[in-house]
Amino acid sequence: MTRSLQAVAYTRPSVLESVAGGRRLGLETSRGATPTGVEDHPRFFSGFLTSPQVAAAGLLAVADVATARYFQQQLRTSLDPVVTGNGDRLRFESFSGCGGVYARLDVLEPGLDGGEVGHGTTNVDVNNPLREALSRLGGDDPLHLRVGPEELAVTTLDGPVVEKKVPLPDRWLRGFAEAQVTAAGFDLRAELPAAEAVRFLRSLPRGGARGASRGAQWVVPAGRALRPTTRPVLGAVCLPGPERLVALRRVLRHATALRVYGPPATGEAALASAWEVVLPGMRLTLTLSPEAARGFSGEGGVLEALATDEAAEDAELIGVLLAWEPRVDVGDLAASSGLPAERVRAALTRLGTSGRVGYDTAEAAYFHRELPYDADRVERHNPRLRSARALVAAGAVSLDGDVGTVTAEDGHVHRVRDSAGTLTCSCLWWAKYRGGRGPCKHALAVRVVRRGATAERDDTEADAGRGGARNDGGAR
């Protein structure tokens, strides 16, 4: 697994302090993207939280995931959460070190008071002393929130005084991209009222010794509750590694509802799912990969979009139209860009691979953000995509109608067939996963060559049409 270190610098540690008339939570920001370009320490908000204890618990839950590994727990990790200002809300996001849990706290407009929300994305410092202070926060005293440096300090910064070296595994970066692609295929499957939500979440296991998972379980809506089922019946939702929802316990006493999202249960295979706790003025969502030992990075949902030049060109156009919107509407982008909705969605998937969009299951919509990491490595270092492009470059792919033949490096010949737009392959990868983890390298290589041939043919026909028009004109 490729890893690197990235320096994350803050002007000072984030702190919760007592001030006249209440308390003040100062969250320090690092270098990040804004509408006016990259800034060292952007400032996104200065105002009050309408539910201080709820916000503190939600922020701690996101920080829990950022420092957790739910698989191989003996390995340590430490990843600072990401904060995005979307104009009407603040989003705090994190990803577990094992790559299988994505967390997001959306502090919505009703949860904020007395200040405008800016636009942009950066890391936010959540250190151990701050975590301890937030966990002791009680009472109903007003809590002032500042995301970014103090107004006076903006123009008087002498340089960073706090620096962290953050490990950035490639699989963690790919996981951020794959999680939003996976969630885009979810639908709301169940909604529980507060009492049932608390009862259900408290009944879940906390985890086994040394991170051993209890495996995937299935639940099915039963009135206003969820009941376990031994198999994925109609309407069932997969709960893969239920102990991975432990971070939701932070906010249980503030919960007003629990919403569960997932894809249709069409077979026995474990599936990803999202679990959203509705809070006063906020939402806390955990998205789980299909297995505790299986991170999002290997799901392969973004490979089709990464493999095509068309999606790259479309993504460049769509990226210009993004404006830090909290809700990216595919129809509006299609109208603005002149592209069909299908190509807009592919472009958004491509943008997601570099961290430029996320997906909100509660609103069934994308949102704009810019991850403060070298996320371009997601495409460069994706092993299946690299292998597919190497096969194409080596001339290992030949086409014969709906069948593509790929001669692998070891001399083995694989047949890739196109059935109603879905590619199947004779290789062991396809036999094992049946497309459940995206296309294999052979199918990707065939897709690249086929689309290249189609584009070349279209260009030739267009040139012939233009030439014919000129000849007709000359005859007249």
* CATH number, domain with residue 340: 1.10.10.10
Whether 216 is in a domain gets the answer yes
Domain annotation covers residue 474 = no
Q: Are residues 137 and 186 in the same domain?
A: no
308 closest CA partner among 257, 343, 284: 343
Q: Which two tokens stand for residue 246?
A: 């432990």
Same domain, 391 and 461: yes
Q: Are residues 203 and 131 in the same domain?
A: no
Residue 362 has pLDDT above 90, yes or no: yes
pLDDT band, very low/low/confident/very high, at 53 (cuts 50, 70, 90): very high
Do 332 and 185 lie in one domain? The reply is no
pTM: 0.81
**279 and 345: one domain?**
no
In a domain, 270, yes or no: yes
Choose the final residue of a domain: 166, 198, 230. Answer: 166
Tell me: pLDDT of 468 over 70.
no
DSSP class of residue 215 equals: -
Per DSSP bridges, beta strands 403-407 and 45-49 are: unpaired
Please tell me the distance from the alpha carbon of residue 240 to that of residue 139, in angstroms, as a whole number. 36
* Mean pLDDT (whole number) for 296-306: 61
466 pLDDT above the threshold of 60: no
pLDDT in tens, 176-194: 778 888 898 899 999 999 9
Based on the fold, state whether residues 276 and 417 are members of the same structural domain: no
Q: How far apart are CA 115 and CA 146, in angstroms?
A: 10
Mean pLDDT is highest, among 81-90, 207-216, 439-448, for 81-90
pLDDT at residue 7, as a whole number: 78
DSSP element (H, E) containing 46: strand 45-49
Residues 6+ apart with CB under 8 A from 14: 25, 26, 27, 28, 124, 125, 126, 127, 130
In a domain, residue 361? The reply is yes
Give me the number of domains the chain comprises: 4
Average pLDDT over residues 37-44: 93
Q: Say whether both 368 and 398 belong to one domain.
A: no
Q: Is the pLDDT of residue 414 over 90?
A: yes
pLDDT-based confidence at residue 46 (cuts at 50, 70, 90): very high
Owning domain of residue 346? 303-378
Q: Are residues 290 and 309 in the same domain?
A: no
Which pLDDT tens digit goes with each residue over 158-169? 555 577 777 666
